[in-house]
Amino acid sequence: MSMSDWEQLQHILNCPVRVEELLLSDHPAMAGLEAGTVVEDQSESLAIITAVDDGTIQMLNVGRGNLNETEKALIAWSVARYALKQAEEIHDADGGSEAERSARAIGEWIVKQSLAGGSEPLPSSLSQDGRLYAEMIPFLLETEQTAEASAFGELQKLLDSFLDEDVIVIPLKGQEWLVLAPLALVRDTLEDRDEQAETLEESLASIGSGLQEMLASEWIGECHLAVGRPMKPVKSVVQSVTLLRETIELGRIFELGANIHLPWNMHLERLLANIPEVVRYRYVEQALGRADVFMETETLSTLDTFFALDCNVSETAKKLFIHRNTLLYRLDKLKQETGLDVRVFRDAVLMKIILLLYKFTKRA
Amino acid sequence: MAGVRLEHVYKKYPGSDLASVKDINLDIKDKEFLVLVGPSGCGKSTTLRMIAGLEEISEGKLFIGDRLVNDVAPKDRDIAMVFQSYALYPHMNVYQNMAFGLKLRKFKKADIDKRVREAAKILDIEHLLDRKPKALSGGQRQRVALGRAIVREPQVFLMDEPLSNLDAKLRGQMRAEISKLTKRLETTTIYVTHDQIEAMTMGDRIVVMKDGIIQQTDTPEVLYNHPKNLFVAGFMGAPAMNFIAGTLADQGGALRFKSSGVDVAVPEGKAKLLREKGYANKEVILGVRPEDLHEEPVFLEASPDTIVTAHVDVAENLGHEMYLHLNGIGTQTVIARIDGRAGVMNGTNVKLALDMNKVHLFDKESELNIFEN
């Protein structure tokens, strides 16, 4: 039973609740008892077994207080149900379904290949009856919390329901999942010949954003998602995972506050990330003469917004909720401090590169 | 519906010694509309994300209703969120977007249909139910995002700058609609904004935050009229409160506030309190709101002891009122809000009387409001 569970119970019952662990060797009489069994019922406390494993017994000790018989029975019943649910989840994780075993085998192969830097095609035995020969859209999901044992089934069900398509879920590491969705998801975009229609990248970005928001609010909480261009998994799954993993890694550094990251928006960042750290430091110092210009979050957010809006002064001021003159004042101040006028293309390019190098140096 | 309680909540990010959010204590009542406001980076969104379950709580306890939810997944907290970067599900039409959360929770089809259609009616988007998000305008998308939250009939609505992607006109309209909607649904709402006008007009209570710390929590009226410190005084109100650094000179039994170009009498009641607190002949900061500087002859005649003369750098006439950007009162520009028909011109000198009963005085070191602490 987790800390928050019994803290909640303590709050509901309004009496002290604690969890204790006993060695079976010290209490041989308890061998064979099941979760939910009341082992002690005295006037001050009530002790109920919550879990039994090879060598230990976990017990919930509830201050008896004003509990009546019904409440006591209800607590014992809840503990027994809780233990049963935990056992089922562990069983699911150990055995899992055929689909899960197959997905885990693919995941293990991908992890091995990417660690070894390999780029071999997926063995046909892992191609999921040929499904992975078709072009698919790759999504890489990184969660902040470690998923529970039953996560595979939950995620598969959730994605099937959300995308209404046949989706392949592949667990990679503890908090990392690869999701392969059929190309049909962007069918509208691919078939639309209208010049005003969404591009493939716009379409993938909006599906990625919707998917990330749905997963955050309906499943796992905080998570990051990268989406790639369609590819044939049998040929390119390892390269695709490597690219998406790098995209999330860079996105966490360069796109603070964003949870959806797109490889086609990260070309410059990928290039700069390959520059050795010493060279990066030296360059920032030489270019600016000092490295503390960006220390103020106001300067950082002003420049980020200004570049994101293609150096448009009016739009930037509107987005930052400041007067145009205030923005011009900030840009003039920056020019005085750095010698770079970001309203001039050459200086803007230089400032953008310095800004990215600075972020990489500070946050990596 | 339920209240929300935060007890000594902290947020620390890995690798950082400093907490981004420090010792937050809040008791948000059932059905209350609470606004978290402050400059960017003050911790308001982090606080909301902790309530939503999108960020882990490093220390402290969070209760929704009577339930401790620190380790409860977002989906199980019975909350609904609307964020600035709300992402509608692009492959679903408006109806499906609104119905998806209910479908996941295994609601019956008839119930889903009833809830979606009711919410669509409230939000006036019934005619859009078959459309895909890309065929909607910004305002319509925002309504769908709200609809997705409403159909859940959650215990708490969490909104993080939900209007910031809309243009000014639409924001004003949606501001009023959200206020109306939450009152009608009687749902506890926690709303994050950096915009103090949104905060003042929407919140039953407002929490002003700075550097991860709550500066003051109170009703809009109290925050505006009785700010506890210099930050709150400067943050609430547009144009912002003017601050003039000066000294409280004790002259023949009366206290006068003196600064460059300023020599005004402090009313007796305030002077008595200032003396008791030991501020006579000490340096303080005087705060005066733009509307508490008066140019009307009646006011000037009635307050001969609080008159200052200033040079009008810029007179901005908005029609019904006029903003005067003034030089010569203290060392910084002071803004006065006067009647639009006053006819004051750029480059002229103007006499103004300070309403000394409404000014605030702040301790120069602690920046606390001397009268409110």
Taking residue A6's Cβ as centre, other Cβ atoms within 10 Å add up to: 17
3-class DSSP state of A348: helix
- The torsion angles phi and psi of B207, rounded to 5 degrees, stand at -110, 120
Q: What integer is the mean pLDDT of B325-338?
A: 94
User: What gap in Å lies between CA A25 and CA B223, rounded to an integer?
Assistant: 64
CB-CB under 8 Å, A158 with B104: yes
Q: Which residue has the tokens 């204590």?
A: B25
The DSSP symbol for B341 reads T
Instruction: State how far the alpha carbon of B80 is from the alpha carbons of A153, A215, B115, B145, in Å.
Output: 24, 14, 15, 10
pLDDT in tens, B92-124: 999 999 999 999 999 999 999 999 999 999 888
Tell me, yes or no, if B90 comes closer than 8 A to chain A by beta carbon.
yes
User: What gap in Å lies between CA B265 and CA B244, rounded to an integer?
Assistant: 15
Of B55, B87, B101, the CB nearest to A222: B55
Q: What integer is the mean pLDDT of B218-222?
A: 97
Tell me, yes or no, if A325 comes closer than 8 A to chain B by beta carbon.
no
User: What gap in Å lies between CA A221 and CA B73, rounded to an integer?
Assistant: 7
Least Cα separation, residue B7 to chain A (angstroms): 14
Task: HSE, CB side, 13 Å, CA atoms: give it for residue B373.
Answer: 16
Q: Are A133 and A180 in contact (CB under 8 A)?
A: no
Band (pLDDT 50/70/90 cuts) for residue B165 is confident
Q: Which residue has the tokens 């040079």?
A: B311
CB-CB under 8 Å, A185 with B91: yes
Residue among B40, B48, B88, B89 with most chain A CBs within 10 A, to mutate: B89
Q: Which residue has the tokens 């319509």?
A: B140
The DSSP symbol for A214 reads H
Tell me, yes or no, if B169 comes closer than 8 A to chain A by beta carbon.
no
Least Cα separation, residue A124 to chain B (angstroms): 32
Query: For position A2, what pLDDT does the model report?
Result: 53
Query: For position A78, what pLDDT does the model report?
Result: 83
The CA-CA-CA angle for residues A256, A258, A264, to 5°, reads 105
Q: Are B95 and B130 in contact (CB under 8 A)?
A: yes
Query: For position A291, what pLDDT does the model report?
Result: 59
Domain boundaries, chain A: 3-93, 98-268, 275-363
Pairing type for strands B59-64 and B67-68 reads: antiparallel
- Which DSSP helix (H) or strand (E) runs through A306? helix A297-308
Q: Does A3 score more than 70 pLDDT? A: no
Query: For position A284, what pLDDT does the model report?
Result: 80
The first and second tokens of residue A156, run together, are: 């598969």
Q: What is the DSSP string of B142-177?
A: HHHHHHHHHTT--SEEEEESTTTTS-HHHHHHHHHH
Q: Are A215 and A205 in contact (CB under 8 A)?
A: no
Least Cα separation, residue B268 to chain A (angstroms): 40
The DSSP symbol for A26 reads G
CB-CB under 8 Å, A209 with B85: yes
User: Pick from B345, B353, B354: which is nearest to B313 by CA?
Assistant: B345
Q: Does B30 score more than 60 pLDDT? A: yes
In chain A, the residue whose alpha carbon lies closest to the alpha carbon of B106 is A161
Band (pLDDT 50/70/90 cuts) for residue B136 is very high
Query: For position A193, what pLDDT does the model report?
Result: 62
Q: Which residue has the tokens 């709402």?
A: B189
Question: pTM to 2 decimals?
Answer: 0.75
Which of A138-142, A286-290, A328-332 is the least confident region?
A286-290
Q: Are B98 and B122 in contact (CB under 8 A)?
A: no
Q: Does B167 score more than 90 pLDDT? A: no
User: What gap in Å lies between CA A279 and CA B90, rounded to an integer?
Assistant: 43
Q: Name the burial class of residue B276, with classes exposed (0-12), middle (13-18) and buried (19+) by CB atoms within 10 angstroms of its CB.
A: exposed
Query: For position A5, what pLDDT does the model report?
Result: 64
Which of A49-58, A263-272, B186-195, B221-230 is the least confident region?
A49-58
User: Pick from A238, A244, A348, A259: which is nearest to A304 by CA?
Assistant: A348
User: What gap in Å lies between CA A316 and CA A28, rounded to an integer?
Assistant: 72
Q: Which residues on chain A are in Cβ contact (under 8 Å) with B52?
A: 217
3-class DSSP state of B132: coil
Q: Which residues on chain A are in Cβ contact (under 8 Å) with B5?
A: none
Task: HSE, CB side, 13 Å, CA atoms: give it for residue B300.
Answer: 10
Query: For position B7, what pLDDT does the model report?
Result: 97
Band (pLDDT 50/70/90 cuts) for residue A21 is confident
Dmax (CA) of chain B: 82
Q: What integer is the mean pLDDT of A330-342?
A: 90
Taking residue B17's Cβ as centre, other Cβ atoms within 10 Å add up to: 5
Q: What integer is the mean pLDDT of B1-5?
A: 89
Q: For residue A16, which amino acid is it? A: P
User: Pick from B22, B37, B16: which is nearest to B220 by CA?
Assistant: B37
Give me the total of CB pairs closer than 8 Å, taking one residue from chain A and one from chain B: 75
Q: For residue B28, which amino acid is it? A: I
User: What gap in Å lies between CA B295 and CA B298, rounded to an integer?
Assistant: 9
CB-CB under 8 Å, B71 with A162: no
User: What gap in Å lies between CA A88 and CA A149, rounded to an integer?
Assistant: 10
Residue among A217, A224, A294, A298 with most chain B CBs within 10 A, to mutate: A217
The first and second tokens of residue B193, run together, are: 């904004």
Band (pLDDT 50/70/90 cuts) for residue A96 is low
Q: Does A350 score more than 70 pLDDT? A: yes
Q: Does A264 score more than 70 pLDDT? A: yes
User: Pick from B78, B51, B99, B72: which is nearest to B154 by CA?
Assistant: B78
CB-CB under 8 Å, B66 with A221: no
Q: What order of strands is seen across the sheet that includes strand A223-227?
A: A168-171, A176-182, A136-143, A223-227, A260-261
Q: What integer is the mean pLDDT of A5-21?
A: 76
Query: For position A65, what pLDDT does the model report?
Result: 67
**CATH for A98-268?**
3.30.70
Q: Which long-range contacts (CB under 8 A, 24 or more apart) does B318-321 make?
A: none
The CA-CA-CA angle for residues A261, A262, A266, to 5°, reads 100
ipTM of the complex: 0.70
Q: Residue A300: which residues within 8 A CB-CB, separation 6 or more?
A: A294, A355
Q: Does A312 score more than 80 pLDDT? A: yes
CB-CB under 8 Å, B70 with A4: yes
Of B71, B74, B81, the CB nearest to A2: B71
Q: What order of strands is seen across the sheet that includes strand B283-288?
A: B262-265, B254-259, B242-251, B283-288, B360-363
Q: Do domains A98-268 and A275-363 have the same CATH topology?
A: no
The CA-CA-CA angle for residues A61, A63, A66, to 5°, reads 140
Q: What integer is the mean pLDDT of A315-319?
A: 85
User: What gap in Å lies between CA B91 and CA B97, rounded to an integer?
Assistant: 9
CB-CB under 8 Å, B66 with A11: yes
Q: Does A89 score more than 70 pLDDT? A: no
Residue ranges of alpha helices (H) inside chain B are 44-52, 94-104, 109-123, 138-150, 168-185, 196-202, 220-225, 230-235, 268-276, 297-302
Which of A117-126, A263-272, B235-244 is the least confident region?
A117-126
**CATH for A275-363?**
1.10.10.2840
Q: What integer is the mean pLDDT of A104-123?
A: 89
Q: Residue B207: which residues within 8 A CB-CB, separation 6 or more?
A: B26, B34, B35, B36, B37, B44, B214, B216, B217
Measured between alpha carbons, how far apart are the two ends of chain B, in Å? 35
Instruction: Please identify among residues 92-111 of chain B the ones whose CB lies closer than 8 Å to any CB of chain A.
Output: 100-101, 103-104
CB-CB under 8 Å, A222 with B67: no
CB-CB under 8 Å, B71 with A198: no
Beta-ladder partners of A128: none
- The torsion angles phi and psi of B144, rounded to 5 degrees, stand at -65, -40
Cα torsion at B97, B98, B100, B102 (round to 10°)? 180
Instruction: State how far the alpha carbon of B353 is from the alpha carbons of A210, A271, B89, B294, in Å.
Output: 57, 62, 58, 5
pLDDT in tens, A150-187: 789 889 999 999 998 889 999 998 789 999 999 988 87
Q: Residue B305: which residues within 8 A CB-CB, separation 6 or more?
A: B264, B265
User: What gap in Å lies between CA B227 and CA B373, rounded to an integer?
Assistant: 10
CB-CB under 8 Å, A209 with B100: no
The first and second tokens of residue A136, run together, are: 């698919």
Cis peptide before B297 (omega within 30 of 0): no
